[in-house]
Amino acid sequence: MSTDTAPPTDDVAKVPGQPQEPGASPGRSDEKGSSDRSGYVQPVVDVAAITALLDGRYAEIRQTVRDQLVEHAQVLVDAEEMTRSDFRDRVRDVVVEMAATGQTGMGFPTEHGGGGDIGASLAAFETLALGDLSVLVKVGVQFGLFGGAVLQLGTQRHHDRYLADIVSGRLMGCFAMTETGHGSNVQALGTVATYDLATQEFVITSTRPDAWKDYIGNAAAHGEMAVVFAQLVVGGESKGVHALMVPIRVDGEPAPGVKIEDDGLKMGLNGVDNGRLWFDGVRVPREALLNRFADVTPEVLYTSDIDNANKRFFTMLGTLVQGRVCVGGAGINASKVAITIATKYALNRRQFEATSETEEELLLDYGLHQRRLFPLLARTYALHFAQEVVAGQVHDVFTGTLDPDADPDLARRELESRAAGTKALGTWHATRTIQECREACGGAGYLAENRFAALKADTDVFTTFEGDNHVLLQLVAKGLLTAYSSEFEDMDQFGMVLFVAGLAVETVIEKTNVHKLLERIKDVLPGGDDRWDQEAGLLDPDYQLAMYRFREEHTLAGVARRLKRGIDSGMNPGQVFSRVQDHVIAAARAHMERLVLEAFVEKTRAMPDGDDKVALNLLCDLHALSGIEADRAWYMEHGRLSSQRSKAISREIADLCRRIRPIAGDLVDALAVPEAMLRSPEMLGRV
Catalytic residues: 466
DSSP letter at 638 equals T
Burial status of residue 305 (CB atoms within 10 A of its CB: 0-12, 13-18, 19 or more): exposed
CB of 242 to a copy of itself, least distance (A): 21
Task: Give me the half-sphere count of Cα atoms (radius 13 Å) on the Cβ side of residue 555.
Answer: 26
CB of 445 to a copy of itself, least distance (A): 8
Closest listed residue to residue 163, CA positions, set 316, 282, 173? 173
Q: In this chain, which stretch among 14-22, 54-62, 384-392, 673-681 interacts with a copy of itself, using CB under 8 A? A: 14-22
Contacts of 422 (CB under 8 A, 6+ apart): 324, 325, 328, 383, 386, 387, 390, 592, 595, 596
φ/ψ (deg, to 5) at 393: -65, -40
End-to-end C-alpha distance for the chain, whole angstroms = 39
Q: Kind of pairing, strands 237-247 and 191-196?
A: unpaired
Q: Does 310 bind a copy of itself (CB under 8 A)?
A: no
Q: Does 18 bind a copy of itself (CB under 8 A)?
A: yes
Q: Which of residues 347-386 bind a copy of itself (CB under 8 A)?
A: 351-357, 360-361, 365-368, 371
Residues 496/478, Cβ–Cβ less than 8 Å: yes
Q: Does 200 bind a copy of itself (CB under 8 A)?
A: no
Using the minimum distance from each CB to a copy of itself, give the nearer residue, 365 or 489: 365
Closest listed residue to residue 652, CA positions, set 525, 526, 538? 538
Residues 70/109, Cβ–Cβ less than 8 Å: no
Q: In sequence order, what DSSP letters do the residues of 497-549 get, joined into one string?
A: HHHHHTS-HHHHHHHHSHHHHHHHHHHTSTTHHHHHHHHS-TT-HHHHHHHHH
Using the minimum distance from each CB to a copy of itself, give the nearer residue, 44 or 498: 498
Among 585, 599, 614, 664, binds a copy of itself (CB under 8 A): 585
Among 89, 97, 165, 263, binds a copy of itself (CB under 8 A): 263
125-154 as b/e, with b when 16 or more CB fall inside 10 Å? bbbbbbbbbbbbbbbbbbbbbbbbbbbbbb
Q: Does 561 bind a copy of itself (CB under 8 A)?
A: yes
Q: Does 686 bind a copy of itself (CB under 8 A)?
A: no
- x/- mask, a copy of itself, residues 34-73, rule CB under 8 A, reads ----------------------------------------
Using the minimum distance from each CB to a copy of itself, give the nearer residue, 531 or 579: 579
Q: Which of residues 89-118 bind a copy of itself (CB under 8 A)?
A: none
Using the minimum distance from each CB to a copy of itself, give the nearer residue, 238 or 355: 355
Q: Does 574 bind a copy of itself (CB under 8 A)?
A: yes
CB of 383 to a copy of itself, least distance (A): 12
Using the minimum distance from each CB to a copy of itself, give the nearer residue, 8 or 537: 8
- x/- mask, a copy of itself, residues 517-536, rule CB under 8 A, reads --------------------
Give the total of residues touching a copy of itself (CB under 8 A): 125
Q: Does 194 bind a copy of itself (CB under 8 A)?
A: no
Contacts of 571 (CB under 8 A, 6+ apart): 579
Using the minimum distance from each CB to a copy of itself, give the nearer residue, 442 or 610: 442
Using the minimum distance from each CB to a copy of itself, give the nearer residue, 158 or 429: 429
Q: Does 328 bind a copy of itself (CB under 8 A)?
A: no
Among 249, 292, 438, 515, binds a copy of itself (CB under 8 A): 438
Q: Does 431 bind a copy of itself (CB under 8 A)?
A: yes
CB of 142 to a copy of itself, least distance (A): 19
Q: Kind of pairing, strands 225-234 and 173-176?
A: parallel
Q: Which of residues 158-177 bind a copy of itself (CB under 8 A)?
A: none
Residues 373/445, Cβ–Cβ less than 8 Å: no
Q: Which of residues 447-506 bind a copy of itself (CB under 8 A)?
A: 447-449, 452-453, 456-457, 460-461, 463-465, 468-470, 492-494
Q: What is the CA radius of gyration of the chain?
A: 26
Q: Does 271 bind a copy of itself (CB under 8 A)?
A: no
